[in-house]
Amino acid sequence: MPKLSQKQKQLLQSLVSDAKIAIEVIRDTQAFSQVEYSPDLTLGDAVTALEYLEWELGDEAQSR
């Protein structure tokens, strides 16, 4: 995998952070809690996937 530039890494980190915030907002809305929705993967699973991506971005930065 090619190395990310610092600018690319910062953009990706910002997008991941924004996505985590959006998931929290969705999870906390009254409308979402009223939806009868039972997916195989949960919002918590999505947050975990984003956290793994954050860790990978951190590891990529340390390997330079």
Length of the chain: 64
What total number of domains does the chain contain?
1
Q: Does 64 reside within a domain?
A: no
Amino acid at position 46, single letter: A
Q: Does 44 reside within a domain?
A: yes
pTM of the model: 0.78
User: Which of 9-18, 35-44, 55-64 is predicted least confidently?
Assistant: 55-64
Cα angle 22, 33, 26 (rounded to 5 degrees) comes to 5
pLDDT at position 37 is 82
39-60 pLDDT, tens per residue? 899 999 999 999 999 999 886 5
Contact 55, 16 (CB under 8 A): no
Domain that holds residue 12: 6-57
Q: How far apart are CA 54 and CA 33, in angstroms?
A: 27
